[in-house]
Structure 1
Amino acid sequence: MHHNPIYVALDLPRLDAAEALARKVKDHVGGIKLGLEFFCAHGHHGVHELAKVGLPIFLDLKLHDIPNTVAAAMQAIHVLQPSIVTIHAAGGRAMMEDAKAAAGENTKVVAVTVLTSLDDDDLTSIGVSANAHDQALRLADLAHSAGLDGIVCSGHEVGAIKKQWKDGFFVVPGLRLPDGSLGDQKRSVSPRMARDAGASVLVIGRPITRAEDPLAAARAIEGTL
């Protein structure tokens, strides 16, 4: 069976609703992505409940703190056996190295480069002179040299970063279907375009979770890959 790169982002505040949706689409996605909102609301218990669905769990926590704190947080989620955990590349090399060292051996640690909600003006306002594309490439290089498994980036950067980092693991969020609404994403590509450009994992939320028929939506997206 081919590996399904789609991780469904369960952006639902209620645990029972999230679990019901995961069970509904589980044969047409490759994993479940749980973000900060879910983790703050439901903690370890919620992750354990969703793990019962039988799919890999991606904990999108975007850890960003001093190296000791991030390493301790990584150790605290060992028991959940996540397949992927995110940290912020902007936390620097030592933080990234310590996060990777503290992670479980079956957990991929990937660094967020530039959030897809930020544009060049936003970067300027926080003192970053590079544009979003160049900043993403710079942070990808740093994550690579720090020994991480890969990065999170938009579909626009993944091709360029893959040229520099041949065997990297690339998570691409903010994907939208060709006929779908963009929502709050400023820079978006289709799942197929991202896959062809080198994405390892495609994070898809609203196009599945807010669809009238989530199962049909998941099946349709899977069919485009």
Structure 2
Amino acid sequence: MQTRTVVSEFLGTLLLVFFAVGSAVLAVDFIGTVGIALAFGFTLLALAYALGPISGCHVNPAVTLGMLMARRIDVRTAVTYWVAQFTGGIAGAALLFLLAKQVPGLQTHGKFGSNGYGDRSEVHLSPGGAFLAEVVLTFLLVFVVLAVTHKVAVIGFDGLPIGLSLAVIHLVGIPLTGTSVNPARSLGPALFAGGPALSQLWLFIVAPLVGGVIAALAHRLTHPVSVRDAEAGDVPADEAGTA
């Protein structure tokens, strides 16, 4: 595996958290729910074009798990990606926290773009409802990623449906849980929000991973491996840019 793929996943997750979660922390009063959803979708779309040919632009442990289940990457690559994504998410949240502290009167404790259920949900969704919502929402994202990408790389117009799906997911999910569908995106902000955000964090790590597994299993049924792919074999992570 080349260093650039690891740096790509770290940097991509950092930027996703800083800009997309930052839209919820810094600009919600100006852009609203639709604006936040578009910020997530457009950020991922831009990153897909910038980093997709390098690492596949997973920037999400659930997507990486889906790729692992689909046998497009090996376990070692998946673990390396997960480390890069979680550390990137924490770094992005730290940078966002530093900026937020420069805004007079901005409250960072408790919420800070973190996810939640019960009293921390706009519609007071139950834990079971939140788990189901995150599984289904993540299913859509990972299924679309697996369906439109060839092996690992995001090429051509692959980034467009991926970005659009994340925007739609947030339009539905923001009132429910704040929308995670990404354990790395949830971990970073929760660490700085503290309190209930940390106590509820487990759900926003487990549920997206479950959704990713189900998406990979469904993808096997709807998109059988082609003869060309079977003959070619798996594409190593360091060759993702030429896949």
Give the structure-1-normalised TM-score.
Answer: 0.27
Structure with a larger share of its residues in strand: 1
Which structure has the higher relative contact order (CA within 8 Å, separation 6+)?
2
Larger proportion of helix? 2
Q: TM-score, normalised by structure 2?
A: 0.26
